[in-house]
Amino acid sequence: MTIQWFPGHMTSARKKAAETMAMTDVVIEVLDARCPEASSNPMIRELRLARQRPCLRLLNKADLADPEATRAWLDFYNRQPGVKAVAISCKKPGDAAQVPALCQSLAPHRNDGVKPLRMMIMGIPNVGKSTLLNALAKKRVAAVGDEPAVTKQQQRIDLSPRQTLFDTPGLMWPKIEHDADGYMLAASHAIGVNAVIEEEVATFLATLLLDRYPDSLRARYGAETEKLDGAGLIDWVARKRGCLKRGQSGEYDREKASIVLLGDYRSGALGRISLETPISRQKMLAESKSSP
């Protein structure tokens, strides 16, 4: 299955974002710390580079991600010109509070009433942009939900006479080039459920977890990981959680078990999990280039 998801409102959102970029000093790109590159929209990079805007990359949901992987990603991004990266959890007010000062350091010339600092929050759906905006505004100014594409319209918030913030709707890009990125985004709930088959997404996730986080699976489900493949883990979860089809004695409900596994990953019940690292990313890209 190749996952693609580009709702109609995103075309107009991209056009509006390009217009706002012209009067923005710093781009705040919110990423999912569990899959930072998979959740980085290449259109955002194109827009900001065209305007030569510096970027603060926020690896949000860092409390759910593998700390070692997050450190590797911060090192990776902080070596890039015009980029500063930090790991945060937008749900923690103290983490969000540091964002304006970090933006200020990227645009030191914008620091008075004549030239206020203009910041623009960007990112794909469901990475925490609205939660960040509410924390910075210190009030509810954006709808927050556990479904992607909750925000549909751009808005401007004046944080102070010296700081203005533009919030943009979550932006996907028209074609996800790598299948693995689509699966990582779907597993992390950045793609609408109507665009995915949850059992296939869960099988992808299960295969990855068996390879990289078998201890987490043993702790959560008592899984005999050395004997299982991705599909087998779904069956194991079904048995352990009593996911059985109605009226069909003993037959596993794989869809329900898939939802259990995905929910446990998304909520952090499986522990701190990262779906990619700079090394795994490099390997995936190399394999993609070598394949016919």
pLDDT 10s per residue in the chain (292 long)? 565 554 545 566 677 777 888 889 999 999 999 999 999 999 889 889 988 999 999 999 999 999 999 999 999 999 999 999 999 998 888 899 999 999 999 998 877 667 889 999 999 988 988 889 888 888 777 655 444 444 556 788 888 888 999 888 778 777 888 999 999 999 999 887 766 789 999 999 999 999 999 999 999 999 999 999 999 999 999 999 999 887 666 789 999 999 999 999 999 999 999 999 999 999 999 988 776 6
Q: Determine how many CB atoms are found less than 10 A away from the CB of residue 223.
A: 21
One-letter identity of residue 233: L
The answer to whether the Cα torsion of 44, 61, 148, 102 is positive or negative is negative
Cβ-proximal residues to 154 (8 Å cutoff; 6+ apart), any chain: 13, 16, 17, 20, 166, 167, 168, 169
**What pLDDT, on the 0 to 100 scale, is given for residue 171?**
81
> How many Å apart are CA 263 and CA 216, to the nearest integer?
14
Residue 187 main-chain phi, psi, to 5 deg: -60, -35
**What pLDDT, on the 0 to 100 scale, is given for residue 19?**
83
Q: Which two tokens stand for residue 222?
A: 């008592």
pTM for the model: 0.89
Question: How, if at all, do strands 83-87 and 155-160 pair?
Answer: unpaired
Tell me the residue ranges of DSSP E strands in the chain. 26-32, 55-60, 83-87, 117-122, 155-160, 163-167
Q: Which two tokens stand for residue 288?
A: 């993609």
**3-class DSSP state for residue 79?**
coil
What is the length of the chain? 292
Question: How, if at all, do strands 26-32 and 55-60 pair?
Answer: parallel
Residue 234 main-chain phi, psi, to 5 deg: -60, -45
> How many Å apart are CA 261 and CA 228, to the nearest integer?
15
Helix axes 214-221, 198-212, angle to 10 degrees: 110
Q: Which CATH number fits domain 197-290: 1.10.1580.10, 3.30.1490.20, 3.40.30.10, 1.10.1060.10?
A: 1.10.1580.10
The CATH homologous superfamily for domain 9-167 is P-loop containing nucleotide triphosphate hydrolases (3.40.50.300)
**What pLDDT, on the 0 to 100 scale, is given for residue 175?**
82
Q: Where are the domains of the chain?
A: 9-167, 197-290
